[in-house]
Chain A
Amino acid sequence: MKPDFNNEEGPARTVDRPRPVSLAELSPGEAARIVGVEGDTRIGRRLGDLGFLPGTLVRALSRAPLGDPTVYELRGSRFCLRQGEARRVFVERGTEPDRG
């Protein structure tokens, strides 16, 4: 592993702002804040129309028996997404759920 010299903001900042992960990586029960949704594709636009938008809080609720799909809760609704869709949504972990 080579040290990450590109990180200009320093190690302290890294602790505050964890590396964005995809929504698919959240374990059931984990909450996170959406930081981005992939591209101007049909899927990306639809996810946005459903409320998967930067700034929105999202929580993984439950994973289906064979590991896919997963139920997510956001903006007062629950949606079930497959991994293929969830990988297009990027989130920052460690966000306290403050509403919904």
Chain B
Amino acid sequence: MAEATLSAPLRLGLLGSPNSGKTTLFNALTGLRARVGNYPGVTVERREGSTTLDGRTTVLIDLPGTYSLDPISADEAVVAKLLAGELAEVAAPDALVITADACSLDRSLLFVGQVLRLGRPACLVVTMVDELHARGGRVDLERLSQALGIPVVGVVGHRGIGLAELRELLGRPETWTRPPLTPPADALERAGWVDSVVQAAVQQAPGRHRATERVDRIVLHPLWGTLLFAAVMVTFFQLIFAWAVPLMDAIDLAVGWLGNAAHSVLPPGLLADFITDGVIAGVGSVIIFVPQIALLFALLSLLEDVGYMARAAFVVDRVMGRVGLEGRAFVSLLSSYACAIPGIMATRTIPSPRDRLVTILVSPLMTCSARLPVYALLIGAFVPAESGFGPFGLQGLVLLGLYLVGAFAAVAVAAILKRTILPGEGLPFYIELPSYRVPPLRLIASQVWTSVAAFLRRAGTIILVTSMVLWALLTFPQSEPPPGTPPAEAATWGVSHSAAGQLGKALEPVIAPLGFDWKIGVGLVASLAAREVIVATLAQVYAIGEEDAVSLREAVQKDVDPRTGERVFTHATVAALLVFFVFALQCMSTLAVIRRETHSWRWPAFAFCYLLVLAYGASFATHRLVGWLEAT
């Protein structure tokens, strides 16, 4: 015993095709204590978990799901390299544990044959044997083991059936039998080898999965399937909004309360301001995203694990194909309507790295919920509530228009990117449609936790630092208004003389063609943190309590340029500002997440720049067009 614990931990590689029950088995063996990271230099998730097997410390490596060791994606390349021992920094596992779905042994064994050719110690875990039995199938695991030449254990992962036997086996890979003959290299010959193994071990092939067939008759039906898809997506979107908003409001309230409490406890001054407006507000701007991320991933994993996601991708694939993307991109773009951050994180389901990148780059164009406060302020102030066409108010139509412009821009940019810098790799397109299953809650919980933790750890730090920097820009250098300054000017003195205020003034020549003055400039600088911050900043610039939406609206309406005596917010300026917000990537959280997902600052920089150019151009054109329309 002492000898076993002293030696280096045993490293087992868990591999199998997607939907083979691999992750469920991983969770069952390790509990929910997985360490998640990335393989060096690539965006491939690295999951490892520790457990004690037969008194021996064991590291279980959950390798990305793969159908073949002849890699076509980054995920599969990592698996192939790791198994070949070609991955620097990560040693090849000591032994391999292959999972195969009992109901599709016929196909899964093609992959098993490929793995056995590596000549490493291996064992086979036949998963979901309960489903096999329910469908009237029978497999003789003893004979399967003899035919393959390696140990075989049958399990029902989420119920723990067969796990005790498996744990005992996994602790002693030295004792595992090796195949007497290496399976053939040629795929067709290997299929012959599979047939002979199946003939020896499968006593009764499983019948059809009747529930799946019945459900699929509706889900895959051209008409009903499309309607169902629309219904699922609308519900999905609604839930993310409806369920997350109360939680987000609660967080907002708690952060505000905490800020006030800190302010009243601390002696007034810079430290109190820094703690409340810098640190607490910064932390708040990070955790405000957690409800949406958690909810989105709960719903995504539910749809995925139930088996619907593959069907949804099937239904919309053709539409997305027109743009050069595939069905799976649709779901993440839709999620970006709530917030680009979970939307970008959801692109992990897209196998092609280039398609994934295109989807990430256009996600910020989908109108996220952070734009709503800005739209609400400007539309509320400048679009007359009374006008409209029949039952449709003009205010609502403008809002809808802004959503549509964003969506069309996303489609157009995706099409352009696919035709220019990110053409397809000619990857084969295929999606497996798994049988419908009721997913174990633990599986969904672990997926939600992994995503939330990753967001907090990686993106959270960047967001926090940036929001503190912005606080400093709005605060320093400090200056007091000279005595005799009119009270209206004195109230905004601090902001207008801060670094951000000066930046706003320096920006004025650049943004003047859009009709923006320095105050909007300050708002734009501050909104780099997050779009909705412009509302609070404008309130600060106009020296109005943030809660006072109506008076900010009035102040904005009445604001007059002291030099020209004309209104600052003309229709042309308002339209230009709205259009600017449709395009510009003013959200450091999105930039941080793009950085995290692409592992380089190159792509967030690219996204920021192209969207800024687009925003400026479209805003300029809008300003001119509206100005010209009003003049004629």
Contact = CB atoms under 8 A, between A and B. Distances in A.
A85 B72 CA distance: 15
Interface string A58-74: 00011111111101001
B225 to A, nearest CB: 7
Dominant secondary structure of chain B at its interface with chain A: helix
Given A45-B70, A67-B318, A85 B188 contact: no
A64, A71, A79, A84: most-surrounded residue (chain B CB, <10 A): A64
* A interface SS class: mixed
A2 interface: no
A53 B187 CA distance: 8
Given A54-B188, A76-B205, A85-B429, A49 B315 contact: no
Contacts of B434: 78
B222 A65 contact: yes
17 contacts: A46-B67, A46-B70, A49-B67, A49-B110, A49-B111, A54-B188, A55-B188, A62-B221, A64-B220, A65-B222, A69-B317, A69-B429, A76-B104, A76-B105, A77-B104, A79-B433, A80-B432
Contacts, number: 114
Contacts of B321: 68, 82
Interface residues of A, number: 36
A20 interface: no
B565 interface: no
Interface in B194-218: 205-206, 216
A28 to B, nearest CB: 9
B318 A64 contact: yes
A95 interface: no
Contact of B318 (A47, A69, A74, A100): A69
Contacts of A27: none
Given A55-B188, A76-B107, A79-B431, 18 more contacts: A42-B72, A45-B70, A46-B67, A46-B70, A49-B68, A50-B68, A53-B188, A54-B188, A65-B226, A65-B315, A77-B104, A78-B433, A80-B314, A81-B430, A82-B429, A84-B429, A85-B429, A100-B106
Nearest to B102: A76
B426 interface: yes
Interface of B: 67-68, 70, 72, 103-107, 110-111, 114, 187-188, 191, 205-206, 216, 220-223, 225-226, 310, 313-315, 317-319, 321, 426-434
Nearest to A100: B205
Contact of B317 (A45, A47, A53, A68): A68
A23 to B, nearest CB: 12
Nearest to B105: A76
The 9 closest A-B pairs by CB, nearest first: A49-B68, A62-B220, A66-B318, A75-B107, A48-B187, A78-B433, A76-B104, A75-B106, A43-B428
A76 B216 contact: no
Nearest to B319: A66
Contact of A49 (B104, B187, B310): B187
Given A80-B433, A99-B205, A56 B319 contact: no
A52 B314 CA distance: 19
B214 to A, nearest CB: 13
Contacts of B187: 45, 48-49, 53
